[in-house]
Structure 1
Amino acid sequence: MVDVLADKRTATRFRILVEIADRQPAVSQGEVANAVGVTSQAVSEYIRELVEDGLVTKEGRSRYRVTKEGVDWLLRTSADVRRYADRVSEDVLGAVQEDAAIALGAVESGDTVTLSMRGGLLHAAPGDDGPATGVATTDADEGEEVGVTGFEGIIDLDPGEVTVYQIPSVRSGGSDAVDADRLRDAVADADLVLAAGVEAVVALRQADTEPDTAFAAGEVAAEAASRGQRVVVVAVADAIGRVTDPLRDGTANYRVTDLT
């Protein structure tokens, strides 16, 4: 369990810091107490500790601001909570849902199947040999989709990763400023190659690579990485924010590097 959910005090500390960030700089301790469900005296004590720990700064009577360190802690903790919620949703609650998988052999309704993730897609093989299993709810031949429920275990899935290569806009040299050989090597082992911006599409084509898509690159990369895919995004400098925002909101490991 993530630290913020490990004990009530840490969870309350997190919630109070969120309320301060939402209301700053004029922070009513009474309003925070009502929102969190504790006494005003307790809020005062928590705020004192947050100030001592450098997560909040006091600017005057009832005036507080979350510090850079406080923002960083909130971001890290929020990411931990999000990952925990995703695990509950996908690994725990998913066990009572029905999903579709690609059959790796003939399957009949009621059969136990072994589940695996291949190419970012769920697959089901006859039998119960794997660490993750389910029960088929439909009949299917090999290559067809099969309904699966009763999920047990955890699918063996290496975490995906995203590498975002930044290239200049056309007014700053565009694709002509990109080393085509270096770009060709960069995408060689990728499961998915995406482009954000016309300059990125042209640069990839000059490296003998056609992007899998040139639309919603950030969202596609985040989804693919969550399914264990290695993703390369080539993005014009002006589009970097639109690519990294969905990655930051998701659980993918990503890095941004310059390709010029």
Structure 2
Amino acid sequence: MIDVLDNKRAATRFRILVEIAERQPAVSQGEIADAVGVTSQAVSEYIRDLVEDGFVEKEGRSRYRVTNEGVDWLFSAATDVRRFADHVTEDVLGSVQEDAAVAVEDIAEGETVTLFMDEGLLRARPGEDGATGVATTDAAASKVVGVTGFEGVIELQPGEVDIIQVPPVRSDETPDNERIRDATGSADLVTAAGVEAVGVLRELEIESRTHFAAGEVAADAASRGLDVVVVATTDAVGRVTDALRDSEISYAVR
């Protein structure tokens, strides 16, 4: 394994070879020196070593090209860098990252807690069952608690999104009020897209959480396990479905 993070010389060699690969065949040693943060003389020495090792071939004055062997070495070195970055982001930072959750029972700082999603919010309770973390603050029930040291996976079933169309104001059609009542009655969240949709919900005395960015709100809520109904004017349906597709959320238009 090639560990380019083992020492400064290996790291500099890696960066200079990357710069050559990016700029070839016309290579300015001065530009590489500025990019890497070393002197032009140092770049010249590194390039000479790379040529001797068969990683770079010289084609003329200030013209260099990375060889197949050099490409293979770069791939191996880049793989090591990526593995190290994954270790830092997933194993190191992932365990020290602090997040907030709603305490469902009294929690003491330093206590191991079980984490789960409910009503679209991260919740915590004392215990070790499934996904866990460590409380970084004291918190009474229903208050916010800091959590770090995450382990395990929080089980979460994505919610469903139903889009109920209502006709635009210029249409002679009438909204299907019965369908709207049935669909919204069991939904965790109702949003509206379009003035006509807002008007229909107000007439039916159905609360809409928002009539701004209805598709984006529905996508975020569904990703947190909530079932959402979007009542949308026919003209606005496309904007809603675009937002859901961008977030890879499944939906049905009725």
Give the Cα separation in 1 of the matches to 2:127 and 2:155: 16
Matched, 1:221 2:238: no
Give the AA of the match of 1:131: G
Give the AA of the match of 1:146: V
Identity in percent = 61
Give the Cα separation in 2 of the matches to 1:250 and 1:167: 24
Matched, 1:189 2:194: no
Alpha-carbon RMSD across the aligned residues, in angstroms, is 2.2
1:233 aligns to what?
230
Against the structure 1 CA distance between its residues 169 and 147, is the aligned structure 2 distance closer, same or farther, given a 3 Å change threshold? Answer: same
Give the Cα separation in 2 of the matches to 1:251 and 1:202: 29
Q: CA deviation at 1:208?
A: 2.9
1:252 aligns to what?
249
Matched, 1:100 2:100: yes
Indicate if the aligned counterparts of 2:190 and 2:209 stay in contact, CA closer than 8 A: yes
2:109 aligns to what?
109
1:148 aligns to what?
147
Against the structure 1 CA distance between its residues 251 and 122, is the aligned structure 2 distance closer, same or farther, given a 3 Å change threshold? Answer: same
Give the AA of the match of 1:161: E
Against the structure 1 CA distance between its residues 126 and 249, is the aligned structure 2 distance closer, same or farther, given a 3 Å change threshold? Answer: same
Q: Normalization by structure 2: what TM-score?
A: 0.61
Indicate if the aligned counterparts of 2:161 and 2:218 stay in contact, CA closer than 8 A: yes
1:60 aligns to what?
none
Once the two structures are overlaid, the 10-residue window that deviates more, 110-119 or 153-162, is 153-162
Give the Cα separation in 2 of the matches to 1:103 and 1:150: 16
Against the structure 1 CA distance between its residues 180 and 94, is the aligned structure 2 distance closer, same or farther, given a 3 Å change threshold? Answer: farther
| 1:1-260 → structure 2 map (5 Å cutoff) | 94-128=94-128, 130-173=129-172, 177-257=174-254
Give the AA of the match of 1:102: V
Give the Cα separation in 2 of the matches to 1:146 and 1:92: 21
Runs of 4+ residues deviating >6 angstroms: 89-93
- Unaligned 5+ residue runs, structure 1? 1-38, 40-88
Q: CA deviation at 1:206?
A: 2.8
Q: CA deviation at 1:243?
A: 1.0
Against the structure 1 CA distance between its residues 93 and 240, is the aligned structure 2 distance closer, same or farther, given a 3 Å change threshold? Answer: farther
Against the structure 1 CA distance between its residues 196 and 255, is the aligned structure 2 distance closer, same or farther, given a 3 Å change threshold? Answer: same
- Secondary structure of 2:170's aligned partner: helix
Q: Normalization by structure 1: what TM-score?
A: 0.60
Q: CA deviation at 1:227?
A: 0.2
Give the AA of the match of 2:141: E
Give the Cα separation in 2 of the matches to 1:91 and 1:201: 47
1:13-57: CA deviations, max 9, x gaps?
xxxxxxxxxxxxxxxxxxxxxxxxxx9xxxxxxxxxxxxxxxxxx
Q: CA deviation at 1:207?
A: 2.7
- Secondary structure of 1:181's aligned partner: helix
Give the Cα separation in 2 of the matches to 1:190 and 1:236: 19
Against the structure 1 CA distance between its residues 228 and 95, is the aligned structure 2 distance closer, same or farther, given a 3 Å change threshold? Answer: farther
- Unaligned 5+ residue runs, structure 2? 1-67, 69-88
1:151-201: CA deviations, max 9, x gaps?
11111211211111121110114xx61121221011111000000011101
Indicate if the aligned counterparts of 2:108 and 2:135 stay in contact, CA closer than 8 A: yes
Larger Rg: 2
> How many pairs are equivalent?
167
Give the AA of the match of 2:156: L
Give the Cα separation in 1 of the matches to 2:92 and 2:153: 10
Q: CA deviation at 1:212?
A: 1.2
Q: CA deviation at 1:251?
A: 2.8
Give the Cα separation in 2 of the matches to 1:217 and 1:193: 9
Q: CA deviation at 1:253?
A: 1.6
1:50-70: CA deviations, max 9, x gaps?
xxxxxxxxxxxxxxxxxxxxx
Give the AA of the match of 2:167: P
- Secondary structure of 1:117's aligned partner: strand
Against the structure 1 CA distance between its residues 143 and 161, is the aligned structure 2 distance closer, same or farther, given a 3 Å change threshold? Answer: same
Indicate if the aligned counterparts of 2:166 and 2:176 stay in contact, CA closer than 8 A: no
